[in-house]
């Protein structure tokens, strides 16, 4: 995937070298985008509170946790698991829509101290690992973390890692959902997990199923949950479905496909 | 006004403010409970030193829990605090182990809850929870918007309460303000020929310190 040389310019003889492998249809439809797709071959990462072990609706390939001690960050197997239920729910929602994708849970939350640093280190790790999609149903309001998160979001964008982040509806600035290199997600009230809308008035770019969502929780059962946190993994899963049919899409192209197939665009 | 009177006046003002802000928090949870027709509403305050959530104000069920503490790294309120994400959960009873954990933090077994972080500037100060709004009405996003408005009000009150408490701690504690106030009191109670120059020297010192800042 890496270019031999950075493409800073395009000499006349090099045009053939950037021909696109995808045959784009005259009209991009949902059928073309992800019809029949199950997410197979796409690696998805969920940065959250971890997962509860053994839940029948939440099987993952790998579960790790990030700890930060001073300047040293460690990523190791997570034996403790989810203490809040949130990570279990978000991971389970991705699994329910993209049954064949490969899922990795990264626990970056577990207490109010050091959570911003763990979030950054978890994201850095996920980008280095080359996941195709990273779900972030969380944000930080600490401005000191914004520059690092911004830099990582841009790095992900150019390395073909799509970050999907929850917007929030409170009157404070928070990150990373406000960055244009991520897909930011809010909620709509319709009861359709595959319905999503493009918002022509950003910073929130898409709305997805986030009200009364049935999601796995800590004790092995399911709850009905509401919040942008739960709309976000719907978009993450749909990105995984699209990429399992169209592996070569860049984040820019992937976002464009989401736009073209959004309910208020495709049926307009 | 003597130094002791001055200190007493400041302490009274701080104490009065603290009581006022605590009453405001109480009023926020009462109104939140009434507007949503809920069984209870709770405000948790984050104690950054111990990394615990403290029950600061409760309306309705579980009022006896005020002052109790929970570790901030477990449970839903802790998650809402750290992730900055508001959440609504319903049919909690369908997940029995989780339901009993929740009961630990509410004093009874709720069926549904809404939780929203209390954010002021870039800090997360605590969490507002509303328990058991009527289950027969399906949840709407406008309710979440309304909850966010309450959360904003609660966050402002919580910030003022924390400031008042810090001011009192500074007056009562081992800090510099407390030392100055004790020094002034000691100088004043000393014989006049010692105390007056001491007080003047103290005033001069404070002025110079203030001038260099």
Residues 8-37 of B with CB under 8 A from A: none
Query: Could you read off the pLDDT of A113-138 as tens digits, one per residue?
Result: 667 899 999 999 999 999 999 999 99
pLDDT of B185 > 80? The answer is no
Please report residues of A whose CB lies closer than 8 A to that of B133: none
Nearest chain A residue to B85 by CA distance is A138
pLDDT of A174 > 70? The answer is yes
Closest by Cα among B1, B64, B59, B4 to B34? B59
SS (H, E, C) B43-111: EEEEECCCCEEEEEEEEECCHHHCCCEEECCCHHHHHHHHHCCCEEEECHHHCHHHHHHHHHHHCCCCC
Please report residues of B whose CB lies closer than 8 A to that of A83: 73-75, 78-79
- Give residue A57's pLDDT: 93
- Residue at token pair 């403790």: A80
Spatial contact of B169 and B175, defined as CB atoms under 8 Å apart: yes
The residues facing A65 across adjacent strands are A76, A107
Other beta carbons less than 10 A from residue B186's beta carbon: 14
Q: Tell me the pLDDT band of B209, cut-offs 50, 70 and 90.
A: low
- Give residue A226's pLDDT: 93
Q: What is the ipTM of this complex?
A: 0.85
CA–CA separation, A29 and B27 (whole Å) = 53
Alpha-carbon separation of residue B58 from A19, A191, B27, B117, B192 (angstroms): 64, 34, 10, 16, 52
CA–CA separation, A214 and A122 (whole Å) = 27
Q: Do B88 and A227 touch (CB under 8 A)?
A: yes
Q: Do B95 and A218 touch (CB under 8 A)?
A: yes
Q: What is the mean pLDDT of residues A96-116?
A: 86
In this structure, of A8-12, B21-25, B124-128, B192-196, the range with the lowest mean pLDDT score is B192-196
DSSP code, position A71: T
Please report residues of A whose CB lies closer than 8 A to that of B142: none
Query: Could you read off the pLDDT of A192-243 as tens digits, one per residue?
Result: 999 999 999 999 999 999 999 999 998 888 999 999 999 999 999 999 999 9
pLDDT of B182 > 70? The answer is no
- On whether any CB of chain A is under 8 Å from the CB of B195, the answer is no
Tell me if the pTM is above 0.80. Answer: yes
pLDDT of A63 > 80? The answer is yes
In this structure, of A27-36, A164-173, A178-187, B39-48, the range with the lowest mean pLDDT score is A164-173
CA–CA separation, A230 and A213 (whole Å) = 7
Q: Which of A48 and B199 is assigned the larger pLDDT?
A: A48
Query: Could you read off the pLDDT of A210-222 as tens digits, one per residue?
Result: 999 999 998 888 9
Whether residue B109 has a cis bond before it, omega within 30° of 0: no
What lies within 8 Å, CB to CB, of A190 at 6+ separation is: A209
Q: What is the mean pLDDT of residues B70-81?
A: 82
CA–CA separation, A76 and A125 (whole Å) = 11
In angstroms, the separation between the Cα of residue B213 and the nearest Cα of chain A is 26
Residues 67-96 of B with CB under 8 A from A: 71-76, 78-79, 81-92, 94-96
Query: Could you read off the pLDDT of A138-157 as tens digits, one per residue?
Result: 999 899 999 999 999 999 99
Closest by Cα among A157, A170, A176 to A254? A157
Alpha-carbon separation of residue A19 from A4, A16, A23, A111, A252 (angstroms): 16, 5, 10, 49, 16
- On whether any CB of chain A is under 8 Å from the CB of B123, the answer is yes
pLDDT of B100 > 90? The answer is no
What lies within 8 Å, CB to CB, of B15 at 6+ separation is: B164, B168
Q: Tell me the pLDDT band of A268, cut-offs 50, 70 and 90.
A: low
- On whether any CB of chain A is under 8 Å from the CB of B49, the answer is no
Q: Do B141 and A227 touch (CB under 8 A)?
A: no
Q: Do B84 and A111 touch (CB under 8 A)?
A: no
Q: Considering only CB atoms, which residues of chain A are within 8 Å of chain B?
A: 49, 83-86, 109-113, 115, 137-143, 166, 168-174, 187, 189, 211-212, 217-229
Please report residues of A whose CB lies closer than 8 A to that of B117: 170
- Give residue B149's pLDDT: 87
Substitution target in B141, B144, B147 with the highest count of A β-carbons within 10 Å is B141
- Give residue A1's pLDDT: 46
pLDDT of B26 > 90? The answer is yes
Residue A171 has its nearest CB partner, among B82, B89, B152, at B152
Please report residues of B whose CB lies closer than 8 A to that of A49: 79, 83
- Give residue B136's pLDDT: 61
Q: Tell me the pLDDT band of B213, cut-offs 50, 70 and 90.
A: very low
Q: Do B85 and A137 touch (CB under 8 A)?
A: yes
Closest by Cα among A43, A150, A152 to A105? A43
Q: Tell me the pLDDT band of A35, cut-offs 50, 70 and 90.
A: very high
Spatial contact of B66 and B57, defined as CB atoms under 8 Å apart: yes
- Give residue B174's pLDDT: 64
Q: Do B75 and A83 touch (CB under 8 A)?
A: yes
Nearest chain A residue to B97 by CA distance is A219
């Amino acid at each position: 995937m890496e270019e031999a040389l950075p493409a800073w310019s395009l000499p006349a003889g090099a045009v053939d070298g950037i021909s696109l492998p995808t045959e784009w249809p005259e009209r991009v439809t949902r059928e073309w985008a992800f019809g029949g797709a199950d997410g197979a071959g796409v690696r998805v990462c969920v940065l959250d509170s971890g997962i509860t072990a053994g839940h029948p609706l939440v099987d993952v390939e790998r579960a790790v946790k990030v700890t930060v001690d001073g300047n040293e960050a460690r990523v190791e197997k997570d034996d403790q698991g989810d203490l809040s239920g949130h990570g279990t729910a978000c991971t389970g929602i991705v699994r329910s829509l993209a049954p064949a994708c490969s899922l990795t849970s990264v626990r970056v939350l577990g207490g109010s101290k050091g959570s911003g640093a763990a979030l950054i280190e978890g994201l850095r790790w996920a980008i280095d690992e080359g996941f195709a999609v990273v779900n972030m149903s969380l944000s930080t309001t600490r401005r000191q973390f914004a520059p690092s998160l911004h830099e990582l979001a841009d790095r992900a964008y150019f390395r073909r890692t799509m970050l999907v982040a929850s917007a929030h509806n409170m009157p404070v600035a928070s990150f990373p959902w406000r960055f244009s290199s991520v897909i930011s997600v809010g909620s709509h009230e319709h009861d359709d997990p595959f319905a999503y809308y493009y918002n022509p008035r950003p910073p929130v770019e898409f709305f997805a199923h986030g009200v009364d969502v049935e999601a796995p929780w800590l004790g092995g059962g399911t709850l009905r949950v509401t919040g942008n946190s739960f709309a976000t993994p719907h978009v993450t899963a749909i990105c995984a479905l699209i990429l399992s049919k169209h592996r070569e899409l860049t984040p820019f192209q992937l976002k464009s496909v989401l736009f073209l197939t959004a309910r208020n665009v495709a049926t307009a | 006004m003597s130094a002791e009177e001055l200190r007493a006046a400041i302490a009274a003002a701080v104490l009065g403010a603290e009581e006022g802000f605590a009453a405001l928090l109480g009023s926020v949870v009462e109104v939140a409970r009434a507007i949503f027709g809920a069984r209870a509403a709770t405000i948790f305050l984050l104690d950054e030193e111990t990394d615990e959530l403290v029950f600061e104000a409760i309306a309705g069920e579980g009022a006896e829990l005020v002052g109790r503490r929970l570790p901030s790294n477990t449970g839903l309120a802790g998650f809402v605090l750290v992730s900055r994400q508001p959440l609504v959960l319903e049919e909690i009873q369908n997940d029995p182990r989780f339901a009993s954990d929740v009961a630990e933090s509410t004093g009874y077994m709720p069926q549904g809850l809404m939780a929203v972080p209390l954010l002021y500037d870039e800090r997360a100060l605590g969490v507002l929870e509303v328990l058991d709004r009527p289950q027969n009405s399906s949840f709407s996003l406008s309710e979440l918007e309304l909850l966010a408005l309450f959360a904003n009000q609660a966050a402002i009150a919580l910030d003022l309460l924390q400031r008042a408490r810090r001011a009192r701690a500074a007056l009562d504690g081992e800090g510099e303000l407390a030392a100055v106030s004790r020094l002034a009191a000691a100088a004043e109670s000393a014989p006049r020929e010692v105390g007056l120059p001491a007080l003047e020297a103290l005033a001069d010192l404070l002025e110079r310190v203030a001038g260099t800042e």
